Amino acid sequence: MAIPIKFDGCNCTLAPPATILGLKQKAGHTDAYSDGKQVVTCWRLSSAELLEVAQTGLIWLIVAGQNQPRICVSGQGVLSAKGLPATADDESVKPALN
């Protein structure tokens, strides 16, 4: 499962739900950006997940909660920090794809 990555502009931390779809979660807290209208997080896929996405072109997304907000999935940073696109704090978030 993808792991959350801290990025430029994080201003809050989200606590993980106890379960998603009845499955116990191993995830810890997630650094995020929120302005009260939206929440932005950054995730790193494992090598196996990257290979699966490259082969199928599919990404599965689960959003758990009482309300179902609109969702955006992007391969590029969607926030700006100091006039530049936000970057992840972990440089290994950019794996070499062969």
pTM above 0.75, yes or no: no
User: Which pLDDT band holds residue 98 (cuts at 50, 70, 90)?
Assistant: very low
Least Cα distance to 32 among 20, 14, 56, 46 occurs for 14
For all residues of the chain together, what is the average pLDDT?
75
